[in-house]
Amino acid sequence: MHASIKSILRPFIPNSMIKARQRFLAQREVKIHDAIFHNKEPKHIFSEIYAKGMWGKVEDSDSFCSGHGSHLPVHVDLYVAAVSEFLRGFPSPLNVVDCGCGDFNVGSQIRQYCSNYVACDIVPDLIARNKILFKNLNVDFRVVNIIEDELPSGDVVIIRQVLQHLSNEHIKQFVNKIRRYRYLILTEYVPGGEFVPNIDQPTGAFSRLARGIQSGIVLTKEPFLLKAISERTICTTHEQTGLLYTVVYELSENE
């Protein structure tokens, strides 16, 4: 009955009211989320996110899903093509460290263009699952807290749609460790057009844009001030509320 009434009334409700209600519900969900995870360690936060399927689920798959950004072809295909082209551009395959590898749907598609591949995530159950599911790919899966732990050695560090979920303090701790690499491949979701970069937020399931904050991560801006020899955007995909961009930073001279 209620569903029928809603379907009848919906054409007569102004879009502005519908959008206002959607914003209200989204903000309420964010507040509930922040209250639940307040003062919790990142390991517990992200373990619970996966356990509850807060980033969605993939049909005919297990409960581990890193979200639509790791599964929708419009995002994944262009990224895989661009990163594969970059990795193939060297005389010898590079050693790659994948920070926040998630469900490894994306990493599994670029692994063939790398030498050693270390895939890290903070969620132990997710890493255990990846070891089984991708055992034929010769990947070194490790439980690593990229905020607190020492990062594995390699030529390239990849971090894809991870920093957008972290507080500025946690991002700073990560950035302070990456000078050891020759290249950083960073993917972030940011607003379209002009925006104020790096507005702070609590670490959790939501990005800044998902919280309604018109901001995104730009590592070369305050408060991170990443020093890079060069930077090059290798792919961009547009969404209704922003864009997903991938940039390669050269951090040190090639050996």
pLDDT band of residue 18 (cuts 50, 70, 90) is very low
pLDDT reported for residue 185: 98
For the stretch 150-188, pLDDT in tens is: 999 999 999 999 999 999 999 999 999 999 999 999 999
pLDDT reported for residue 59: 62
- Domain layout of the chain by residue ranges: 1-38, 42-250
What is the SS3 assignment for the chain?
Answer: CHHHHHHHHHHHCCHHHHHHHHHHHHHHHHHHHHHHHCCCCHHHHHHHHHHCCCCCCCCCCCCCCCCHHHCCHHHHHHHHHHHHHHHCCCCCCCCEEEECCCCCCCHHHHHHHCCCEEEEECCHHHHHHHHHHCHHHCCEEEECCCCCCCCCCCCEEEEECCHHHCCHHHHHHHHCCHHHCCEEEEEEEECCCCCCCCCCCCCCCCCCCCCCCCCCCCCCCCCCCCCCCEEEEEEEEECCCCEEEEEEEECCCCC
Fold of 42-250: Rossmann fold (3.40.50)
For the stretch 104-154, pLDDT in tens is: 999 999 999 999 999 999 999 999 999 999 999 999 999 999 999 999 999
Name the token pair of 147: 């905020």
